[in-house]
Amino acid sequence: MTATQRLVRWIGAGVASGAVLFQITRASSVPLPNRDAGLARLRLSWSARPERIEVCRALTAEELARREEHMRLRVECNGRFATYGLRVEADGKVLGESVVRGAGLRHDRPLYLLRDFVLAGGFHHVRVSLVRREQTDGDTTAMPARSADADTGIFAGRAEREAVEHARRARAAIPARLVLDTTLAFAPNRVIIVTFNADRRALEVLDSARPSR
């Protein structure tokens, strides 16, 4: 191989190596278009416990006596978790409608919701409703009346604690009817989140991140 041929080969190898390197660096940062770029999104996102619909019954003293001492639960409840109808509308047009229920095979896990709806930028009248599908008679959270006579010794105050716990669970559950009916300004390429505020027990709108804890 002559010196000229060697030089040509060196230059060729250098150019080829440079081109390969440049391709690697370029492929490392290629602008990838987002789906629905230029549009806005309405995102529904929350997790909350579905309501427990149950019928509770206080056991009689005879029934309790038949049980082992550590199995003497004074109130027995039977029931299931509620299902909800979700309906999302924008400017009177239905964007989505579905039945949502708690996660898990027995639907006894919290209800997780994550839905995205694409909207054009601008003002939209949005209506989100989550309504319990099961009809119930009266207060499903009521505890049957029972005597506090047995609540002595280490059981002192048990009835009260049970009532508080029962009420806490009822409060943590999704209310039978949740509705958000409002007009929102959607900026292009922005996301507005509708979520469930467990403290206020209502749907609320977020358009920027909550501060980190």
Partner 1 sequence: MRLLERGARRALTLADAAATRLYGWPWNPLHQTGPLAVAMLLVLVATGLYLLLVYRVGSPAASIVRLAADPWIGSWMRSLHRYASDLFVVAAALHAFRMFAQARSWGPRTLAWVSGLGVFGAGVVCALTGFVMAWDSFGERLAREGGRLLDALPVFSEPLSRIFAGDQPVPSAFFFVNLFIHIALPLGMAVALWLHVSRVARPVLLPPKPLLWGITGALAVASVVLPAPLGAPADAFVVAQTTPADLTVAWWLSLSERLPAGVVWSAMLAAVLVVLMVPRAVRRPREGPLAPSVVDPRLCTGCNQCPQDCPWDAITMVPREDDRPTLVARVDPALCVSCGICAGSCAPMGIGPPGRTGRDQLAAVRSSLELAGANVRPIVAICCEQAPASDMVELRARGAYVHTVSCVGNLHSSVIELFVRSSAPGVIVFGCPPRDCVNREGPKWLHERVFNDREAELQPRVDRRRVRVATSAPGDLAGSIVTFDAFARDLAALDRPDQSDGSLGDVACEPELSRRAAP
Q: Of the ranges 37-45, 81-89, 134-142, 174-182, which one interacts with partner 1 (CB under 8 A)? A: 37-45
Q: What are phi and psi for residue 22, nearest 5 degrees?
A: -60, -40
Residue of the chain from 2, 3, 4, 34 that contacts partner 1 (CB under 8 A): 34
Distances, alpha carbon 186 to alpha carbons 33, 40, 119, 190, in Å: 20, 6, 8, 7
- Other Cβ atoms less than 10 A from the Cβ of 51: the count is 26
Q: Counting contacts by CB under 8 A, is residue 25 touching partner 1?
A: yes
Distance CA(61)–CA(74), nearest Å, equals: 9
Q: Counting contacts by CB under 8 A, is residue 84 touching partner 1?
A: no
- Other Cβ atoms less than 10 A from the Cβ of 92: the count is 7
Distance CA(175)–CA(141), nearest Å, equals: 12
Q: Counting contacts by CB under 8 A, is residue 114 touching partner 1?
A: yes
Residue of the chain from 70, 93, 106, 213 that contacts partner 1 (CB under 8 A): 213
Query: Which residue number, 79 or 104, has a Cβ lying nearer to partner 1?
Result: 104
Q: Of the ranges 45-53, 63-71, 78-86, 148-156, which one interacts with partner 1 (CB under 8 A)? A: 45-53
| Chain contacts with partner 1 (rule: CB under 8 A) | 1, 9, 12-13, 16-17, 21-22, 24-25, 27-39, 41, 43, 45-47, 103-104, 109-110, 112, 114, 189-193, 195, 206-210, 212-213
